[in-house]
Chain A
Amino acid sequence: MSVGRPIPHDAAVLHVTGTARYVDDIPAPHDTLHLCFGLSDTACGEIVAMDLAAVRSAPGVVAVLAAEDLPNSADTSPSAHDEPLLATGRVHHMGQPLFLAIANSHLAARKAVRRASVEIREEPAILSIDDALAADSRFEEGPRFYRKGDANRAIAAAPHRLEGRIEIGGQEHFYLEGQAALALPQEGGDMVVHTSSQHPTEIQHKVADALGLPMAAVRVEVRRMGGGFGGKESQANALAVACAVAARVTGRPCRMRYDRDDDMVITGKRHDFRIDYRAGYDDDGRIRGIEFRQFARCGWSQDLSLPVADRAMLHADNAYLLDDVTIESHRLKTNTQSATAFRGFGGPQGMVGIERVMDEIAHALGCDPVKVRRANYYADAAPGDAAPAPAPLDDGRDAPADTHADLTSRGTTETRGQPAPPPSGAQTTPYHMAVEDFVLGEMTERLVESADYRGRREQVRAWNAGNEILKRGLALTPVKFGISFTLTHLNQAGALVHVYQDGSVHLNHGGTEMGQGLFRKVSQVAAHRFGVPLERIRITATDTGKVPNTSATAASSGSDLNGMAVKAACDTIRDRIARLIAERHQARAADVRFGGDRVHVGGESYGWEEAVRLAYENRVSLSATGFYKTPKLEWDRIAGRGRPFFYFAQGVAATEVVIDTLTGENRILRTDILHDCGASLNPAVDMGQIEGGFVQGAGWLTTEELVWTDKGRLATHAPSTYKIPACSDRPRVSNVSLWDGRNREDTIYRSKAVGEPPLMLAISVLMALSDACAACGPHYPALDAPATPERVLAAVRRAREGAR
């Protein structure tokens, strides 16, 4: 039994011994060239002149390309084709690539680009949310709305009302391995690309487009990434396309990696948000009506901003049943890096919005925030309630016809027909999806007990009464995160499995490994289906030549989709072997069992290797593909209606912090987490995701502060100015448990996705800090994120003196 066991990451030994091979470690042919972009030093303006003669004559330089030198117009956008590889006439953010130096060494290329003489006629840049609103600079024609009930009327009729605003900062991905790519030209113009990307098919598509080739002429391989976090979903395109184009122009292999400072200046980050809210509520804290206005700063290109902003709207309810609600979303275009996917994909920002409202209502009523949250929770599903099997999918839908369209990108904005309405009487989200698998009521009860929330609430109160300078805070926040790509057709996956004559198994699927343990989980599935030990399963690099038309490894979907596809492929081969063995024993194929590295039939059994040899000798195919598509999904993103998610992953965290009211310095003292992974495929890997997600989320909401100058220069472009959490920043007491449950939907072994949801457990840190600030005075502290010491100190002042 390999499924459900806490087996270490398959590459753990390679990681810690430094022998895991990343793109930049791949041995390249001796004549490989190295690339570096020359970058814009201006946020907005027109390129008046670009003299690259000195770059061309720099030592080691083989070629220099500007936009007009490209064989085809190369675009790197995952959505609106609005990201030329190299700037064409205008610049849209400081750090935008202007030209490409191709040289004999990485250093020579880096040195050469500094020699360019570029004249840009600077124009006023749109940098902030206020700038963008003033200029009406936005994506889409206007704001998007999701509506349920009549928020305005419900707010007006409610016994109490409040309104406010929270500003939420962005976040740099800070993957340990920076962006990297390597292109190897093949005969006949074909191209092989190694890339550090979460989305090999997108790389294949963009490279093919840039070279004027069909996708079949381009093969993309990804063995692993040193962290992705969403930052390698679209942001890896530029390097791969640059390498491929340079390889085409020079006829030589080309590789590229961003220096860390360049990486931070060029690539997009998590969207920063402003959320305005207006709520009406009753004496129990139950929300009667609520309106959110979300403002997302999207940067200069559309990128994945539309689905990110959608997902922020889709999580504006978090765990709370809202009957009368309006969510309004503005996607603002600014002269900054193109904000992109980041673990949670807008969900965390939407969730922070409603958690702020819960916190403020509890403060206004002077009652325990957990009570207010519980009063607003969706109702728990009946225990043991399994979901009905899905209806057969209608496959007769029309596909979009545009051949340039990036069909496998989340940036595609195709919409589908009319989703069916939810069952009558069901509790629904603001986007009219029935919530059928809610378990946070029971989970919260469990965590309240295990974390001794009530006892510690009293201890915190007592501490704060006796201490003037150090104040403690405690908060418990839930997470309900929708699992599935909101672009319905992306919810598909393929796998390719070969069994060789010696019984070894070659496993391949469309998902990419970025450290999250996907390959380990999927190999457990394969070993389980064949009933063989894990050692027989060989995990291999993601390769567009083996499994085509893959979706990005994103939206937490990796194990759900690829696990199912691998299961299908394994079962095809298994069933063939079973039929053969059954025939030999006049048994039924269904009675053949696979387990313990043997194949059992009646009272007899064959060793796995023997069974495989028999199959080969009897001319049974030992290779199969597998395919999976998530059922039940129907979503109209414009109307904000349907079922965008297969199910919800849930979790709850209680965090205690302490602040220094003189300086705003703060520490996390303790965190208790109860998280729902369904029936975990691998509890060790899942615990790693939960702990890592929490710490990354805590970094986002506390120390990680992105600062742009008034000219649009990113001032925090290195670890010397941008502070990610280190080991010493983790909570000293951390109790993480897995909820003992099964997914009521039919997922791979009834597990649940775990990639993104735990990040949002860290909202408990922000709310605990708010609680500590609130202990300093009578007013609501209205703490923004990231809660740096200076912001905490300002919130302490507001608590004491009221808003100024």
Chain B
Amino acid sequence: MYAFDIKRPRSVEEAVAALADGEAQALGGGQTLIPTLRQRLADPGTLVSLSGIAELKYVRMEGDVLRIGGGTTHAQVAREAAAHYPALASLAGRIGDPAVRNRGTIGGSLANNDPSACYPAGALGSNATVVTGAREIAADDFFQGLFETALDEGEIVTEVRFPVPEAARYEKFIQPASRFALVAVFVARFAGGVRVAVTGASESGVFRWAEAEAALAADFTPEVVRGLTVQAEGMIGDLHGSAEYRAHLVGVITRRAVEGALA
């Protein structure tokens, strides 16, 4: 780890000010960033810890939208979203292990956009809106490839707004050693259509499977996905699985997610 300074702002305003320095980097729960620092893959100069900002930690329903503060841990979402959006709570409750869930935050996970992370699938599959101090970004615009998002330098995820679907399910096929998603799929059915978001599989990060969405919009049953295939090209092929295997799993896991959503 390279030496760095740390700042602990108490409000979003203070955090934004602290991040105005170009060398500074926001620190959420640190579940990705701290290991990255330890590997000396990042040298931020200053870390601005968001963990002391009480106003970023909440889960609440407003109308038919579930609002989650950017600094809310996965454990808190798993507990408090269960009554409002069970599929999302279930996703949060299956991230990593208890230590990760009690530290890691939704804002941190989305801002990092790891290609194997769970939350990007939940946000994209739910058609969530990512709110920052400056603007609101639709999930479809937010995720821009491997570890890339629409966020500008110093921009903080303050809130994520989830429309609550009629039915949804997050289904995850884990790599047994790391327990990261080898392929995972979030399926959500809304009055106006179906969204299918896939994580873990693609070389360009989380993506929507348009073909499955169209088929499921017409008939929300696992069977309609059966004939559909995803191209192996562009899928991740690594020590844990070939691109062909991942492409195959996308179909299987999507069907499982639809079955789960119907259960």
Is the beta-carbon distance between A707 and B173 smaller than 8 angstroms? Answer: no
Is the beta-carbon distance between B252 and A662 smaller than 8 angstroms? Answer: yes
Complex CA gap A663/B242 in Å reads: 13
Is the beta-carbon distance between B245 and A793 smaller than 8 angstroms? Answer: yes
Instruction: Tell me, yes or no, whether A721 is within 8 Å of chain B by CB.
Output: yes
Is the beta-carbon distance between A719 and B245 smaller than 8 angstroms? Answer: no
Instruction: Tell me, yes or no, whether B248 is within 8 Å of chain A by CB.
Output: yes
Q: How far is the CB of B204 from chain A (nearest CB, A)?
A: 22
Q: In B218-263, which residues have CB < 8 Å from any A CB?
A: 239-242, 245, 248-249, 252
Q: Name the one of A665, A719, A723, A793 contacting B248, with C-beta atoms under 8 angstroms.
A: A793
Complex CA gap A707/B239 in Å reads: 6
Is the beta-carbon distance between B249 and A663 smaller than 8 angstroms? Answer: yes
Is the beta-carbon distance between B177 and A720 smaller than 8 angstroms? Answer: yes
Instruction: Tell me, yes or no, whether A502 is within 8 Å of chain B by CB.
Output: no
Complex CA gap A716/B245 in Å reads: 19
Is the beta-carbon distance between A790 and B242 smaller than 8 angstroms? Answer: yes
Q: A707-B239, A790-B242, A790-B245 are in contact. Are A719 and B252 (CB under 8 A)?
A: no
Instruction: Tell me, yes or no, whether A88 is within 8 Å of chain B by CB.
Output: no
Q: Name the one of B176, B239, B242, B252 contacting A715, with C-beta atoms under 8 angstroms.
A: B239
Q: How far is the CB of A94 from chain B (nearest CB, A)?
A: 15
Residues of A within 8 A of B242 (CB): 790
Q: Name the one of A662, A663, A719, A790 contacting B177, with C-beta atoms under 8 angstroms.
A: A719
Complex CA gap A684/B240 in Å reads: 38
Residues of B within 8 A of A707 (CB): 239
Residues of B within 8 A of A665 (CB): 173
Instruction: Tell me, yes or no, whether A413 is within 8 Å of chain B by CB.
Output: no
Is the beta-carbon distance between A723 and B176 smaller than 8 angstroms? Answer: yes
Complex CA gap A703/B178 in Å reads: 12
Complex CA gap A662/B242 in Å reads: 16
Residues of A within 8 A of B173 (CB): 663, 665
Q: In A636-672, which residues have CB < 8 Å from any B CB?
A: 662-663, 665
Is the beta-carbon distance between A721 and B252 smaller than 8 angstroms? Answer: no
Residues of B within 8 A of A719 (CB): 177
Number of A interface residues, CB 8 Å?
15
With CB as the reference atom, state the residue of chain A lying closest to B239: A707
**Among the interface residues B177, B249, B252, which one has the most CB atoms of the partner chain A within 10 A?**
B177
Instruction: Tell me, yes or no, whether A616 is within 8 Å of chain B by CB.
Output: no
Complex CA gap A330/B233 in Å reads: 38
Q: How far is the CB of B162 from chain A (nearest CB, A)?
A: 29
Q: In A695-737, which residues have CB < 8 Å from any B CB?
A: 703, 705, 707, 715-716, 719-723
Complex CA gap A790/B173 in Å reads: 12
Is the beta-carbon distance between B239 and A721 smaller than 8 angstroms? Answer: yes
Complex CA gap A477/B173 in Å reads: 31
Is the beta-carbon distance between A723 and B245 smaller than 8 angstroms? Answer: no
Q: A663-B249, A663-B252, A793-B248 are in contact. Are A721 and B241 (CB under 8 A)?
A: no
Complex CA gap A721/B175 in Å reads: 8
Complex CA gap A715/B240 in Å reads: 10
Residues of B within 8 A of A662 (CB): 252
Residues of B within 8 A of A715 (CB): 239
Complex CA gap A703/B240 in Å reads: 11
Q: Name the one of A705, A720, A790, A793 contacting B178, with C-beta atoms under 8 angstroms.
A: A720
Is the beta-carbon distance between A790 and B241 smaller than 8 angstroms? Answer: yes
Q: How far is the CB of B32 from chain A (nearest CB, A)?
A: 13
Which residues from chain B sit less than 8 Å from chain A, CB to CB?
Answer: 173, 176-178, 239-242, 245, 248-249, 252
Top 6 closest A-B pairs, CB basis? Answer: A723-B177, A707-B239, A662-B252, A723-B176, A715-B239, A720-B178
Which residues from chain A sit less than 8 Å from chain B, CB to CB?
Answer: 662-663, 665, 703, 705, 707, 715-716, 719-723, 790, 793
- The contact sample of 27 A-B pairs, CB cut-off 8 A, is A662-B252, A663-B173, A663-B249, A663-B252, A665-B173, A703-B176, A703-B177, A705-B239, A707-B239, A715-B239, A716-B177, A716-B239, A719-B177, A720-B177, A720-B178, A721-B177, A721-B178, A721-B239, A721-B240, A722-B177, A723-B176, A723-B177, A790-B241, A790-B242, A790-B245, A793-B245, A793-B248
4 other contacts beyond A665-B173, A703-B177, A719-B177, with CB at 8 A cut-off? A662-B252, A721-B239, A722-B177, A790-B242
